[in-house]
């Protein structure tokens, strides 16, 4: 009497495991990316809140946009600690950078760039000359690479822009 498995049985098991892995791995990587995106989203919201606090003090928005005299959103950003140097050349003023994100201020917009620099960017603003503009206080997404990360993150399309829900 023989004990053990035949070569065919082992190959079938390996084939089934390979098929399951090929289905599960892309979903796993998308889930990991969504969790990394939450870091960028939370930091953008904090920076946007600081910009909104500035606007509350100055209703005309004077001095609340990057580049205005005496304004640097990143100087007063509580709880945003980046330890790496920015490597993506994007906006006017570079802020903190982490392993996954770089933060920039470019005029009224605050931008988070997903590292490596060719993945996708998130941006928001609390200031707009037209307060009814649909971009105010929302987080927009732009795909920089070949993959449609904005759709994977659950953004909705409005016109020609992606916005997080």
pLDDT exceeds 60 at position 114: yes
3-state secondary structure of 70: coil
pLDDT digits (tens, 9 = 90+) for 54-72: 878 877 767 777 666 666 6
pLDDT exceeds 90 at position 74: no
pLDDT exceeds 90 at position 160: no
pLDDT exceeds 70 at position 76: no
The C-alpha angle 73, 58, 113, rounded to 5 degrees, equals 25
């Amino acid at each position: 009497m023989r004990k053990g498995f035949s070569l065919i049985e082992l190959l079938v098991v390996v084939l089934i495991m390979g098929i399951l892995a090929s289905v599960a791995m892309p979903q796993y990587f998308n889930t990991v990316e969504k969790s990394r995106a939450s870091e960028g989203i939370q930091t953008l919201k904090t920076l946007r809140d600081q910009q909104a606090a500035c606007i509350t003090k100055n209703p005309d928005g004077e001095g609340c946009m990057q580049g205005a005299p005496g304004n640097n959103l990143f100087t007063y950003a509580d709880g945003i600690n980046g330890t790496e140097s920015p490597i993506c050349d994007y906006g006017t003023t570079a802020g903190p950078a982490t392993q996954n994100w770089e933060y920039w201020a470019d005029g009224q917009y605050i931008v988070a760039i997903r590292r490596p620099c060719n993945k996708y960017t998130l941006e928001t603003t609390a200031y707009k000359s037209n307060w009814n503009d649909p971009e105010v206080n929302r987080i927009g997404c732009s795909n920089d690479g070949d993959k449609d990360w904005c759709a994977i993150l659950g953004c909705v399309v409005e016109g020609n822009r992606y916005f997080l829900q």
